[in-house]
């Protein structure tokens, strides 16, 4: 799975917020507050996973541009 530049920046931005939240969840789990700690871990995972699999209104112009560029600039065959 190859990520484009914008996808990598988006993933990095998600990780900036998700990693501290996940560490906080692990700390709560270690302290014995299992429900709240598990909830924080679940929220951290959702922060990273949802943008990858969820299409938002901001993604529609990007998807349209990728289709146009893919139609105009075809990748060369292995024979060429």
Domain map (residue ranges) of the chain: 7-72
d(CA 51, CA 9): 12
Q: Quick one: which H or E segment has residue 58?
A: none
Asked if the model's pLDDT at residue 73 lies above 60, the reply is no
What torsion do the CA atoms of 33, 34, 39, 40 make, to the nearest 10 degrees? 60
d(CA 26, CA 52): 24
Whether the CB-CB separation of 59 and 33 falls below 8 Å is answered with no
pTM over 0.85: no
Asked if the model's pLDDT at residue 76 lies above 70, the reply is no
4-45 tens-digit pLDDT: 787 888 889 999 999 999 999 999 999 999 999 999 999 999
């Amino acid at each position: 799975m190859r990520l484009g530049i914008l996808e990598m920046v988006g993933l990095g931005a998600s990780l900036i917020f998700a990693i501290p939240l996940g560490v906080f969840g692990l700390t709560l789990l270690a302290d014995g507050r299992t429900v709240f700690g598990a909830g924080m871990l679940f929220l951290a995972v959702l922060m990273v996973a949802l943008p990858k699999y969820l299409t938002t209104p901001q993604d529609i112009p990007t998807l349209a541009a990728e289709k146009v560029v893919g139609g105009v600039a075809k990748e060369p065959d292995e024979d060429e």
